[in-house]
Structure 1
Amino acid sequence: MPFSVRFWSLLSSLALILASGGIPVSAQQSAALRALPADDSDSDTSLDVPTAKRELSAGWKTQTQARALSLIIPAPRGQIVDRNGIPLAQTRVAQYLALSYPFLGKDATDTEIVSFAHERILKANRLLGKNWNITGDKLLNHYKNRRWLPLVFSLNDGINEEISEEQQALLKPLTQPGSGLLLQAAYLRFYPKGASAPHMLGYVGKSRPLPVTPAQDGDPIFEETEGKSGLEQSFDRDLQGTPGMVSVLFDADGGKIDEQTVRRPKPGNNVVTTLDYHMQSYAETALAKHTKGGAMVVMDVRTGDVLAMASYPLYDPNMWVPGITSENFRALNEDKRTPLYARAFQGEYPPASTFKIIVSLAALETGKITAKSAYDCSTALRIGDRVFHNHTKNPEGYMNVVSAIKRSCNTWFYQAGLAVGADPITDMAQRFGFGERTGIPVGGETAGFVPTNTWMIERLGHRMQGGDIANLSIGQGRTLVTPLQTAQSMAAVADGVNMPRARLVSQVQDPNDRVLQAFPPQVARQVNLQPAAREAVIKGMVAVCNSPGGTGRAAALDKKYNCQVAGKTGTAQWKPNEERNLAWFTGFLPANDPIYAYAIVYEGQPYESVSGGGKAAPIVKEVFTKVYDNAPPDDPLILLSQAEEAAKAIPVSEEDEEIEGSGGMGNDGEAVTPINEAEPVDEGEKRGIGGFFRKLFGR
């Protein structure tokens, strides 16, 4: 939606600030700048601003210390905003304390040059309680090569240290014209929401250090920046803007006697993301409250818009402004919580039982299993010479696909997977985008991995064996997915026909709100699910959250919202050497008319007992309760909740959990013989590896 972003007030402020800085402008120039219209891409960007001139002596060109320089004024960087125009990255003006050398005479000694600077730096240090310092070599080099330009010395660990308004007031007596000290203005990146969405926004850094060689035309008056990661880097060319230029004439004593604005800096364009800042904040707050590490992605089923993509723990991108200290960078890199790791789109995790949605669809679409095909949900199965356990110690009897999803029965899915085989399962996974990047315009996205028979033959010399298929059928083994991929796959299940392409940026606008480039919603691929297969799976997902015995009832919203949540739990062994497991919850809502798809991963701590229903599902309820409570009256979610409940709800009755046969039904209607290498075993059977696999294949 259109929104107004204006930078000319900022540019005017800079013009005024520069009046006390190293490249000052006259009061007349400042007034002229303020009178300029808002920047327009069709306007004359080389407008000359008249300025008062002082009479020049006839011999100024012969004075070796006189200089005429054309200097670059870096442009203010464009904004990055959320879908409603809430700024996530902006540009502001900062002040630094700088040394301004006059010409000390042709006979000035090195000692005199250095002493001049040190005396003034010492006064500033005493006044502000600082310990700023510059080496004599650097002072001498600057005086001989670049004394016409200011030298910033308010530095901390090599990073410019900003002068606050209070400090500016204290420094006023020391920064009068001719004093040798001045305040140097510069543009500075600013992230107004602090530690929110940093993994997507990224950060900026210096594009090049300020020159130390003899001053020449084209030198910048302050440091230029460029995007180093995230959207700042991906859209750097759009955000950069067009630098301005000022022509400055200095007399033999270093005094400025003339200045002409040759070209105004043109602000960069604005990048409009699909993010909803409030939803992003809800997700980040919930993760901080409930986890020590995890991620949540919320996507619009209808468009693929990424509304929230939270990775926790977070970091504040303002730490990189104007540069990150070595101490802070070391602390971030050595933090065992890995806050720089974008878990939402870089984290590759075993999908655990969330992958049973893929297995169910694959099994149903082959026709080898119907919605009422039955397998025994025993406590364990022997496959070959190994025992594979369910997540419960008690047998639960025969189930069909709806009840197997609801209860997340491992032994049911072992048998279903073996009946179907690996190829239909891995084909379905690839059909839903697993094993490939979604293509969001942020560097570092990972592709995950789906093992196939082809890969197994190429790498290991054989097709998947029974144990491999059992692992695959419950989302364990070699399969790896990202939370973003998982949310996108849930959007495809919710739609049934199309899988939307994940979209993080909707358009690029110029400073006058004109759209320069649009990125419309796209379909990543058509999934074209068989209606009967999809209906059975969705009923299972609804039962997970809304039926007695469902493993994800903690995700269900209060009845007042009239919204059914469809979901699937998952729990997996993640880092066995550290005794760490992880929990998933993924799905969409409202179940009958989906608007939002979501995926949550919860990283368990060493020896922590976790489950998808106990750890991840409550986050869904917390986040979407806030969405409902704070949504405007015309929000589609609110309008839908006001519809007749009977027309919205997907009923799941005992009939949906009825079974036929006792080993699955084939296409010819005859009972499928149980897989020969899958033999139910009693819970009392003791095997050395039984306890290991029980933990490995939890729901």
Structure 2
Amino acid sequence: MRRTPKDSAESFRRVSRRAMILGGGQLAFAGLLALRMRHMQVDQADEFRLLAEENRINIRLIPPARGQIFDRNGVVIAANEPAYRITVVREDAGDLEETIARLATLVELDPAEIERAMAEMKRSAPFLPVTVADRVSWEAVSRVAANAPALPGVNPEVGLSRHYPHDQIFAHVVGYVQPVSERDLARYEDPDPVLRIPRFQFGKIGVETKYEDMLRGRAGSKRVEVNAAGRVMRELDRREGEAGADLQLTVDTRLQDYIHARLGDESASVVVMDLEKGDLLAIASTPGFDPNKFVRGISYADYGALQADERHPLVSKTVQGFYPPGSTFKMITALAALESGIVGPSNTVWCPGHLKVGARRFHCWKRAGHGHMNLEQALMQSCDVYFYELALRVGIERIAEMGRRLGLGVAHDVPMSAVGEGIMPDKEWKRARWGQEWRIGDTVNCSIGQGDVLTSPLQLAVMTARLATGRAVEPRLVKSIDGVETPSRGGGPITMNENHLRWIRKAMFEVSNNRRGTAYRSRIIADTMRMAGKTGTSQVRNITAAERARGVVRNEDLPWNRRDHGLFVNFAPYEAPRIAVAVVVEHGGGGSTAAAPIARDVTLQALYNGDPPLDAYPTADRGDIEALQERLKQQRRMATDQDTSRA
């Protein structure tokens, strides 16, 4: 059927109207699209440029150089040295096991280290480098570089690693660093990002850990361009980090080295303290250990040997070792009695060789007794009965209070690991610790530094420093931080009768300089260097009545670990004190035979700042001292030669 002209016209009008509507819609959509494109390209251009940059550019941390540690004379005792290592990037390595096998033909690889590295690669992003061999030689690095085409993903690198040039002599003081562990990270609520860098070195013990935040420094950063897979294409720029603060300690390397050589194989400790500022000139514990082994990763065998050693080389005996102070404590008992007005310097006590308290008999070290003893004589000859009597009159509370005033039973503020407070017991302490009441026999035992009294060599040095100066001297180990000196710790005056202190000092002088003094054989002859001291012997076993009846077994006839500890404390010069010294020789026997000779030699080394003249020693000792000095010089030369050869 043919359409009429009218129908055709109507149909055309409908189509045109639809086309216009459709065209208008298309035009509106195109306009909106153009406006949106303009908004994104012009108004939001900076934002999208930043997003593109973030996808293309990565920011990576650069480990900072760790601050170095020096002695008081500027000698480096904790340094940074270049360390070469081999890293592997998993995504570039292809067949990882085959690549490692090829690398093993060029570089000696530790199986345990490879196992650790493989585990770390599984945890890390595939484009991050993981160390498979650390502290390798330059020759090994050269071989790897020369064979680079056959070792995809393997990269030789150079960084800084901690090194302790003096090996064991500062191990207990400075400590050591090791790679950061999860336990280390747990110490921080918001860990520094640099701590997450693989194998970043972190202070574990000693000064290294106490000043970790200062020594670590601030990380730098670099911007690198990466491709879509995250592989580094090029470095765009870098900002170097801020090196850690340098620390200068108060210790003297030469004196510390001498002490270690002088102690030899003894299980012992020595503290030397400057009396003006409280500086710790030496704080030595033997035997020691090589901290460099921990930095490199100590083997199970080496660590097991250190732990199994009965002389405990891992323990810093100067601050972690606690011993009955023996007769070195008698100055505390004497001062408590003097300050209480209970006794004067001329009052005497009769010593028949023992004192009976209740049903128990407390013995003097001299079985036949000393007879009548005044204060000076009792300290000079170390009469036990005299101090038993004083303690019964003055009581444990005053004795304990005097001990704390002079630095015992106190954890002194030095940046070393596990600094303890020891035990300065009193009635409240025993109730809290054992749930028991104090007994009069406890007081008698404590009066001569036995029973529950436990002190560290550092505390004994502080006690001696306070006796010598009458000031509340505190130990200082860090002399300066980045060249800025730390406050002196010479302390203010102790509220105590100066005459009482003079009487104690005079009695200590007689200990070392009177023929009847217990340390007379270890005296100093040089008039301007004479010392005042006190011997101490602390028992580590009970002596039964049966053993006393048949004769006490001599120390030298006992196994090493059942012998008494030998102690000695002193200050010098007597007329104008400059230093205080404390020596403890574990299981060394008597203080007069084991500790006093060491203290005398160390004191002279400190006062003369090197080997003293032979005429400072008694004539009878000069031949032995000369031979000793020569032997120690040879040992130090051999140690220096070994360090040079290792370097």
- Of 194, 199, 203 in structure 1, the residue corresponding to residue 167 of structure 2 is 194
Q: Is the 8 A contact 2:349 2:386 kept in 1?
A: yes
Name 1:503's counterpart in structure 2.
476
Amino acid at match of 2:86: L
C-alpha distance 461-268 of structure 1, shift in aligned 2 (>3 A): closer
CA offset at residue 258 of structure 1? Answer: 2.1
Cα distance in 1 for partners of 2:398, 2:474 equals 23
- Structure with a larger share of its residues in helix: 2
Cα distance in 2 for partners of 1:597, 1:455 equals 30
CA offset at residue 257 of structure 1? Answer: 3.8
What runs of 5+ residues in structure 1 fail to find an aligned partner? 1-60, 105-112, 155-160, 212-216, 642-699
CA deviation map 1:190-232 (0-9, x unaligned): 11111122122122222258x9xxxxx9997753222222111
Cα distance in 1 for partners of 2:496, 2:465 equals 12
CA deviation map 1:594-620 (0-9, x unaligned): 110111111107xxxx10000000111
Q: Is the 8 A contact 1:70 1:218 kept in 2?
A: no
Amino acid at match of 1:283: I
Matched, 1:153 2:129: no
Name 1:619's counterpart in structure 2.
598
Q: Is the 8 A contact 2:90 2:121 kept in 1?
A: no
Cα distance in 1 for partners of 2:581, 2:382 equals 19
Q: Is the 8 A contact 2:106 2:140 kept in 1?
A: no
C-alpha distance 263-339 of structure 1, shift in aligned 2 (>3 A): same
Amino acid at match of 1:244: G
Name 2:636's counterpart in structure 1.
none
Q: Is the deviation greater in 167-176 or in 315-324?
A: 167-176
Residue identity (%) = 31
C-alpha distance 355-67 of structure 1, shift in aligned 2 (>3 A): same
Matched, 1:445 2:445: no
Matching of residues 639-678 of structure 1 within 5 Å: none
Name 1:594's counterpart in structure 2.
577
Q: Is the 8 A contact 2:117 2:131 kept in 1?
A: no
Q: Is the 8 A contact 2:176 2:208 kept in 1?
A: yes
Name 2:212's counterpart in structure 1.
236
Alignment RMSD (CA, Å)? 3.4
Matched, 1:472 2:446: yes
- Of 494, 497, 506 in structure 2, the residue corresponding to residue 539 of structure 1 is 506
Name 1:489's counterpart in structure 2.
463
CA deviation map 1:468-515 (0-9, x unaligned): 22212111111111111110011110012x111111112211xxx4x3
2:276 aligned counterpart, secondary structure: coil
Cα distance in 2 for partners of 1:307, 1:91 equals 24
Q: Is the 8 A contact 1:294 1:600 kept in 2?
A: yes
Q: Is the deviation greater in 175-184 or in 342-351?
A: 175-184
C-alpha distance 172-418 of structure 1, shift in aligned 2 (>3 A): same
Q: Is the 8 A contact 1:71 1:221 kept in 2?
A: no
C-alpha distance 208-430 of structure 1, shift in aligned 2 (>3 A): closer
Matched, 1:366 2:332: no
Q: Is the 8 A contact 2:114 2:132 kept in 1?
A: no
Name 1:122's counterpart in structure 2.
101
C-alpha distance 134-146 of structure 1, shift in aligned 2 (>3 A): farther
> What TM-score results when the alignment is normalised by the length of structure 1?
0.70
- Of 349, 358, 363 in structure 2, the residue corresponding to residue 375 of structure 1 is 349
2:449 aligned counterpart, secondary structure: coil
CA offset at residue 410 of structure 1? Answer: 0.7
- Of 254, 258, 262 in structure 2, the residue corresponding to residue 286 of structure 1 is 262
C-alpha distance 165-262 of structure 1, shift in aligned 2 (>3 A): closer
C-alpha distance 233-136 of structure 1, shift in aligned 2 (>3 A): closer
2:338 aligned counterpart, secondary structure: helix
Q: Is the deviation greater in 120-129 or in 383-392?
A: 120-129
Q: Is the 8 A contact 1:174 1:181 kept in 2?
A: no
Name 1:298's counterpart in structure 2.
272
- Of 363, 381, 384 in structure 2, the residue corresponding to residue 407 of structure 1 is 381
Cα distance in 1 for partners of 2:599, 2:283 equals 14
Q: Is the 8 A contact 1:315 1:340 kept in 2?
A: yes
2:418 aligned counterpart, secondary structure: coil
CA offset at residue 134 of structure 1? Answer: 8.6
1:413 aligned counterpart, secondary structure: helix
CA deviation map 1:377-425 (0-9, x unaligned): 3222222111111112333321211111110011121122223333332
Tell me which structure has the larger Cα radius of gyration. Answer: 2
Name 2:294's counterpart in structure 1.
320
Name 1:92's counterpart in structure 2.
81
Matched, 1:562 2:534: no
Cα distance in 2 for partners of 1:439, 1:327 equals 35
1:522 aligned counterpart, secondary structure: coil
CA offset at residue 459 of structure 1? Answer: 6.2
C-alpha distance 67-461 of structure 1, shift in aligned 2 (>3 A): closer
Amino acid at match of 2:238: V
Name 2:496's counterpart in structure 1.
529
2:511 aligned counterpart, secondary structure: helix
Cα distance in 2 for partners of 1:352, 1:244 equals 55
CA offset at residue 147 of structure 1? Answer: 4.7
Q: Is the 8 A contact 1:363 1:416 kept in 2?
A: yes
CA offset at residue 622 of structure 1? Answer: 2.0
Amino acid at match of 1:186: G
Cα distance in 2 for partners of 1:344, 1:144 equals 42
Q: Is the 8 A contact 2:423 2:452 kept in 1?
A: yes
Cα distance in 2 for partners of 1:218, 1:71 equals 10
Cα distance in 2 for partners of 1:144, 1:347 equals 42
Matched, 1:434 2:408: yes
Name 2:202's counterpart in structure 1.
226
Matched, 1:579 2:562: yes
Name 1:75's counterpart in structure 2.
64
Name 1:263's counterpart in structure 2.
239
Cα distance in 1 for partners of 2:419, 2:115 equals 47
Cα distance in 1 for partners of 2:251, 2:498 equals 32
> Greater RCO between the two (CA within 8 Å, min separation 6)?
1
Amino acid at match of 1:441: P
CA offset at residue 362 of structure 1? Answer: 1.6
Cα distance in 1 for partners of 2:113, 2:582 equals 52
C-alpha distance 137-372 of structure 1, shift in aligned 2 (>3 A): closer
Amino acid at match of 1:83: R
- Of 533, 548, 557 in structure 1, the residue corresponding to residue 515 of structure 2 is 548
Cα distance in 2 for partners of 1:441, 1:179 equals 47
Cα distance in 2 for partners of 1:374, 1:197 equals 47
Cα distance in 2 for partners of 1:101, 1:531 equals 74
What runs of 5+ residues in structure 2 fail to find an aligned partner? 1-50, 186-192, 544-560, 617-647
CA offset at residue 144 of structure 1? Answer: 11
Matched, 1:339 2:322: no
Q: Is the deviation greater in 446-455 or in 169-178?
A: 169-178
Amino acid at match of 1:603: E
Q: Is the 8 A contact 2:86 2:141 kept in 1?
A: no
Aligned residues: 537
CA offset at residue 135 of structure 1? Answer: 7.8
C-alpha distance 260-600 of structure 1, shift in aligned 2 (>3 A): same
Name 1:392's counterpart in structure 2.
366
Name 1:247's counterpart in structure 2.
223
